[in-house]
Amino acid sequence: NCTYFRSRVSTYTSYRQSYYTSQQRDYYSCGFWGLSRCTRYYTRYNYYRQSYVSYRTVYYYTSDCCSGYALVNGQCRAQCSQGCIYGYCSSPDVCSCYSGWTGYSCQTDINECTNGKVTIGIGSGSHWCEQRCINRPGSYSCGCHNGYTIHTDYQRCTDINECTNGHVSIGLPQINGSGSGLDLIVPTDHWCEQLCINRPGTYSCGCYDGYLIDTDNQTCTDINECLYDNGGCNHTCTNTVGSYSCSCYDGYLLLDDKSSCIDHCECCTGDDDCQHTCHNTIGSYYCTCLSGYRVSATNSSACEDIDECMEGSSNCSQICMNEIGDYNCSCLNGYILLYDDYTCEDVDECEDGNGGCEVYCTNTNGSYYCSCDEGYYVSYNHSCEDVDECADEISGCSQICINTNGSYTCTCDDGYQLSNDNHTCTDIDECTITDNGGCEQICINTNGSFACSCTSGYQLLLDKFCTDINECTMYNGGCEQYCHNNVGSYSCSCNNGFNLNTDNHHNCTDINECSTNNGDCEQECLNTIGSFYCACTSGYNLMSGKYCS
């Protein structure tokens, strides 16, 4: 700036105080008890300030713009006649260019990307770009390759995640239109069927486990893992869409690695259904039963009781009592079970107090019995009592028994005599030891007696004597026609024309006279019951009962 002495006329204002008056009216209460309203007047002074303008000359020093400068907004600014396009005038006709510009009037852009000012790559300071330098009028900016976006520091580049910013769609492209003939897939490059995988500056499509990317690098195809080494499965590999699964044969378990199979110990895990004992085998198991049971014929897991008693496998020597899963042996009365729990041994009851017998004790298998001297029997209390052989009908006497103490004797009824065995009675034959027993005709001996009888044609009189019977008086002696009584007998006869039957000598049989010499008839003989008659053929007359003329 340049300094100059100058003067100027200035004005100033001065002030003085004045006033004016005015009448004011006022109201107040008056009268009795202040109930009336009265008016009064008073003078009011109103003060005010009055100004006056005065003039004076002021001398002063000033600083003005030197030659080549101009006052701009109160400041002296250098002036450039050529103008500064992208800069400012720093001294008369001299331009100072803004950063990025050069030239007499700052009209030429500086290409920072090529003049070595800006380095490419991660640098230090402010003049570097990670990927690209883009020259701009008066400046430059950093840019990024495709798939990157500029960082907030405007130097570094940040990868664009196409998978999350909506640039890439997941799934098959939308169907364009609807209806027959319009269902066409809209072609597009920015989609992945399953997975989008971001990569530095770009992306790629991927697939879920179990799928393989197709040659179009967008769609996915299921991998049949079972085709390669059985999917790593020990036993069975089952392919599924996008995956696969391993399974094991029956009786095996799949391990946590989902591929290996080990034997399933059903007996260890309680997965068996054995009623009693489970025995594991490779890939399976089998059931057995406790002693006294066997595996059911209809259910290999169930156990059923073995009836050892019924099947004869008990080894019990006498009595077998079946129980569930077992059996017990016992013995009949008079036997004791030995320590082997199977064998029964006879108890010798006679060794203990003679078995309670009064006289004799005899041991038997499973029992014993008491006995007494002959002629005595064992009573209910094992004592010996006299046997009444007669009452018990054990004497053997054929007729009369007389009991004695410890014995008996035999006798016989009248008409009998005791034999040499002293038991049997034999009949006395009265017909032989006396004169025919006193019978007139026949003496018949009977057991213990005798009887008289008569020969045929006689009847008994007074038990000993015989008199003739007239058989013809009773039913004609059984004769069909004639009965003839004889002494001691009778005979039958028949009318003429009959013969006596030679078989029973009682009936009469018609004689067929015509069978003998034609009954002496000349021509025809006709037999009748008890007679006959002669007849002649036609044209003849019977003469004299026999002849024909």
Q: For the chain, how many structural domains are there in total? A: 5
Structural tokens at position 215: 């040659």
Q: Indicate whether 411 and 454 sit together in one domain.
A: no
3-class DSSP assignment, residue 354: helix
In a domain, 65, yes or no: yes
Residue 242 lies in a domain: no
Q: Is 100 found in the same domain as 89?
A: yes
pLDDT in tens, 170-188: 888 765 555 444 444 545 6
Supply the range of the domain harboring residue 87: 2-109
CA dihedral 369, 373, 375, 377 (to 10 degrees): -30
Which pLDDT value is given to residue 174?
64
Task: Clarify whether residues 421 and 441 are in a common domain.
Answer: no
What is the spatial distance between Cα 349 and Cα 382, in angstroms, rounded to a whole number? 13
Same domain, 377 and 454: no
Residue 155: name the closest of 182, 203, 120, 207 by CA. 120
Q: What is the pLDDT of residue 3?
A: 67
Residue 149 maps to a domain? no
- pLDDT, position 179: 45
The answer to whether 192 and 168 have CB atoms below 8 angstroms apart is yes
Instruction: For residue 329, give both structure tokens.
Output: 């042996």
Query: Measuring CA to CA, which residue among 15, 6, 13, 98 is closest to residue 58?
Result: 6
pLDDT in tens, 187-218: 567 899 999 999 988 899 999 988 999 999 99
Q: What is the pTM (predicted TM-score) of this model?
A: 0.33
Angle at 256 between CA 250 and CA 258, to 5 degrees: 65
Note whether 530 and 497 are within 8 A (CB): yes
| Low-confidence residues of the chain: pLDDT under 70 | 1-5, 61, 174-188
Q: Is residue 436 part of a domain?
A: yes
**How many other β-carbons are positioned within 10 Å of the β-carbon of residue 547?**
15
Over residues 301-326, the pLDDT tens digits come to 999 999 989 888 888 999 999 998 89
Do the domain assignments include residue 359?
A: yes
| Side-chain-facing half-sphere of 509: CA atoms under 13 Å | 8
Q: What is the pLDDT of residues 108-148, one digit of tens each?
A: 999 989 888 888 888 777 889 988 999 998 888 999 998 89
User: Which of 72, 93, 109 is the endpoint of a domain?
Assistant: 109
Is there a domain that residue 155 lies in? no
Last residue of a domain, one of 82, 109, 136: 109
Query: Has residue 443 been placed in a domain?
Result: yes
Say yes or no: 336 and 355 in one domain.
no
Per-residue pLDDT, 182: 41
Q: Is residue 175 in a domain?
A: no
Domain boundary, last residue among 317, 346, 375: 346
